Structure formats: structure tokens, C-alpha cells
Structure 1
Amino acid sequence: MGGPPRRNPARQDSQRGTRLQRLPVARGRLAVPYQRQSPAARKTEPIMISLNDHDINEAATAIRRGMEVYVHRAHGRMLIADDPERNVRADPEVFEAIMQDVSTDPDAYVHIERMPAADAIKIMSAFTDRVRNQELWQALTYALKRPNPFQNFKTELRRFPKNYERWRQFRQERYTEYVQQCLAEQQD
């Protein structure tokens, strides 16, 4: 059991936080089948998109932060790219390299879309319905009705640190479910 610790083959630019690629680990996989057409035989054979819980959680975090997430259908390699048009700190060279890799064989990758804003607001509303503190419930309900609901919701939650941590956990769970749902839809 000795020896050097196992290193993750993913490379990361520590200054920018841009993920170049992520290779899945074999534990706790979620398998989502899809059909791939063999060019020679022209018959379909099921292939599984396999991601472990850590990878799904990482994809959920990336989606929440507005990054582009692609998962290779055959071996589950995940590519996460931060779009320089949305984030000025993103590395355009890394983004272009990932987009070029995806564009060479677009059918080989599943693109996990960003969650629509209306769905994200529904998540905030669902959390608000679970809040027991009357003062916080009123503040969050009002924040969702005003312009800039995302910023207002976050500002109100920061006044209640205990509930802010609960919100972060609730939000991460919902985004994880969203990623799992997107992968499951790709099996059709």
C-alpha cells in the first residue's frame, strides 16, 4: 500500500482555474447508455456514458459557473472549458483547444447545456419554500420578485450564514440532478 500517491491525469492551470480535461475514475459510476452507429456494419451497439459521483459533481459546479461541459460518449472523458466571452479571466487558447477537439468529432461528445435561468429561479424558489425562518423567507421571496433575482437572493442569504451553507448544498444537489438528467436524456 506504500509508494507515491496516485495522481489525477487532469491538468489544471492553477492561476485561471481552467480545467483542460478530466478522466473518470472507476469507482461509483453512473452509466447512461446511448446508441453508436458502426460505419462498417451500419448496426447500432449500446455504449455507456460513465461518470463517477465526483465527475458529476464537478460537471454540476462547472455548469453552475457558466462553463462549457462536454463528455465523451465512449470513454467518459470530460472536457470543461471556460468561455472567454463570458469570463475575462478564461484562457482563450485552452477554450479554443477544447472546442477544436470537440469539433473534430462532435457526435462523440455530449454537450451539457447551461441550466436555463427560469429553472435556476425555480431552484431558488424551492429552497425558499423550505426555509423556516420567517424573516429570511420574506426576504428571499421578495428578492425573487425584484429585478436581478440572482444577486438579490445571494445578498439576502449572506445575512444568514447557517442558511447560506444550506443553500449551497441544496443548489449543488439540484445541479447534480440536472447533469444526471442531461446525461440520461442522451441515451435516446
Structure 2
Amino acid sequence: MKPTKKEIEEIADNLDCGMRCFYNLKSGEIKTIPNFDSWIDADKETWDDVSNEIDENWSDYIEFTGFESHESFKLMVDFAESVDDTRLQNKLIYALNRLKPFQNFKWQIDNSTGYRQNWFDFKKMRYIQWVQNQIDLNNKDFE
């Protein structure tokens, strides 16, 4: 399995959006569908063709997984610890130690000056690493 850098970024972006991503080992094609467990209102019929293709050829595909909630939380902690603005860093750490840490962290980031894009860049870099790690593990399985 040898996805290109652009394909790895595409997979990372789709996982970040809550999609399920599949890589066809024979063709190298990437297929995505919504994670219907998370997107209750998603119209499943719209995705029937892609879902059926994956189901009918399951052994041809590798599924990439996104972060579990505890891994997303760790990602936010890592970002908070990397912030060079002590005041914002303290706000982020406080937000993560309160009820609804995801919501509170998002509010702090959305209302910070100049750090919102830093958060998106940090998260994207980590998702790309996450996808690359899954590629490396799958490649070892096939050796």
C-alpha cells in the first residue's frame, strides 16, 4: 500500500470530518462514506453505491480509523502544552479540566487571537501522522 502524500492528506481530512475512509489495495482508490453511527441524519441511500462496493469487495479494502475520543482529548492536551502564550495555555488547560472539555476547548480556540489556525495546522499534522502510522502497520502485516 503506497498512497501519495496528497492521498494521505485527503484521508486525514476526511477522518477529521468524521468520515469513514477506505483504501482499495488493488486500485489505490480511496472511498469515503459518512460514519452513520455519528451522523444519524445522514441519508444512507445517497451512499448505497459506495457502501455496496466496499461490502461486496471487503477483502480489497483497508479501513482507516479516526481518533477515539480519548485520543482527541490527548491531542488537545498536546496542543495546549505547545502554546507559547501562557495566558491562553492556562485557559485551554482549564477548559480541558472542566465539564464538556471538547466544547470548552473549541470555544477558547475560536475566541483566541491568532491561534485558531495554529490549532487546525497542529491537528492536521497529527492526523497525517496517524494515517501514516496505519499505513506502516498495514504494510508490516503484508510483509
TM-score, scaled relative to structure 1: 0.69
In 2, are the aligned partners of 1:143 and 1:152 still within 8 Å (CA)?
Answer: yes
* Aligned AA (2:73): I
CA shift, 1:56, in A, is 1.0
CA shift, 1:161, in A, is 3.3
**Percentage of pairs with the same residue:** 24
CA distance in 1, matches of 2:11, 2:46: 17
Question: Aligned residues, how many?
Answer: 140
**Structure 1 or 2: larger strand share?**
1
In 2, are the aligned partners of 1:68 and 1:80 still within 8 Å (CA)?
Answer: yes
Deviations 1:121-140 (CA, angstroms, capped at 9, x unpaired): 11111111111111111110
Question: Could you say what the CA RMSD is over the residues aligned between the two structures, in angstroms?
Answer: 1.5
TM-score, scaled relative to structure 2: 0.89
Query: 5+ residue gaps in structure 2?
Result: none
CA distance in 1, matches of 2:104, 2:47: 31
CA shift, 1:98, in A, is 1.7
Q: Give the structure 1 partner of residue 35 of structure 2.
A: 83
Deviates more, 1:88-97 or 1:147-156: 88-97
Q: Give the structure 2 partner of residue 123 of structure 1.
A: 75
Q: Give the structure 2 partner of residue 154 of structure 1.
A: 106
Q: Give the structure 2 partner of residue 114 of structure 1.
A: 66
Query: 5+ residue gaps in structure 1?
Result: 1-48
CA distance in 1, matches of 2:41, 2:14: 15
Moved over 4 A (4+): none
**Structure 1 or 2: larger helix share?**
2
In 2, are the aligned partners of 1:63 and 1:69 still within 8 Å (CA)?
Answer: yes
CA shift, 1:86, in A, is 2.5
Q: Give the structure 2 partner of residue 56 of structure 1.
A: 8
Say which structure, 1 or 2, has more relative contact order (CA 8 Å, 6+ apart): 2
Deviates more, 1:166-175 or 1:131-140: 131-140
1:173 matched to 2:133: no
The DSSP-based 3-state class of the residue aligned with 2:38 is coil
CA shift, 1:179, in A, is 0.8
